[in-house]
Amino acid sequence: MSDERALLESFRRDGFVHLPGFMGTEEMAQIEARVQEVIEQVVPSLPKTEAMYEDYDQAETLKQVNVPAERAPALAALRESAKMLAVVERLLTEKAVPKSLELFIKPPKIGTPTPPHQDGFYFCLEPNVALTAWLALDDMDDENGTLHYVAGSHTRGVLGHGASQVLGFSQGLTAGDLAEFGQEVSCALRRGDLLVHDSLTIHRAEGNPSGRLRRALAMVYYGESAQRDEAAYQWYQDSVKAQQQAIGVR
């Protein structure tokens, strides 16, 4: 009970928690096999807006996949498993509603940076009760583009974002100095570690100039109290489409 209380207190204070070794070696082998099946069997049939590349002419530069749950039942089952729900519902302090599945990759040598942003800006929820569980499929550090969080920034509400022209992250934080929102923390990870962050926690990542792969599986959950602001969400979708068209991705 004391460990659970400490976990919740840390999440409420910082807006994120790091759970080392959340998935064991055998679990990770199974998850990675299912991820590879998605890459080989599902990704080739997805539109450019759902399977994104650093260079669409080079398959090895895959950078982001919005995974259709109906075509990845094993990963959907992981997202909805008792093990995952026990953690996310403890942190949400209400029933969790599983939402999107996403694969994030920074290919060796060419993986580009992720702009600072709040997931909640994309979600357009009221109240903005949601979180992302981010499972490391590879070891990560500052050499290959691990996540950086701004601790405590989730208490500032939804902040101003503007068009980023970054495929997969259409809106980025407009503030120039993240230090005004809290202390930035770099999260070095081992394969199988889990990061969970509040939908309003500012986070970003550098590119990947190293020779190492950097992959993560992200599972999004809304609290059952959260409702989508349809007008805000339509504005966001229109902005995404406009940017995709501007950079030639349709």
Backbone CA torsion sign across 23, 215, 190, 101 = negative
pLDDT for res 236? 81
C-alpha 198/C-alpha 150 separation (Å) is 11
Average per-residue pLDDT for the chain: 93
pLDDT for res 1? 45
pLDDT category of residue 2 using cuts at 50, 70 and 90: low
Q: How many CA atoms lie within 13 A of 128 on its CB side?
A: 21
- pLDDT: which is higher, 57 or 247: 57
Please state the φ and ψ torsions of residue 156, each to the nearest 5 degrees.
Answer: -90, 0
Q: Is a pLDDT exceeding 50 seen at residue 208? A: yes
pLDDT tens-digit map of 119-145: 999 999 999 999 999 999 999 999 999
For the chain, strand residue ranges (E) read 16-19, 51-53, 62-67, 96-106, 114-117, 125-126, 130-136, 147-151, 161-166, 169-173, 183-186, 194-198, 203-205, 214-223, 227-228
| Best CATH choice for the domain 2-246 from the list 1.10.760.10, 2.60.120.620, 2.40.10.10, 2.30.40.10 | 2.60.120.620
pLDDT tens-digit map of 93-119: 999 999 999 999 999 999 999 999 999
Q: Average pLDDT for residues 161-181, to the nearest whole number?
A: 79
Q: Which two tokens stand for residue 131?
A: 């979180």
pLDDT tens-digit map of 38-47: 999 999 999 9
Residue-wise DSSP of 1-68: -HHHHHHHHHHHHHSEEEETT-S-HHHHHHHHHHHHHIIIIIGGGS-TTTEEESSTT-GGGEEEEEE-
The whole-model pTM stands at 0.93
Q: Is a pLDDT exceeding 90 seen at residue 242? A: no
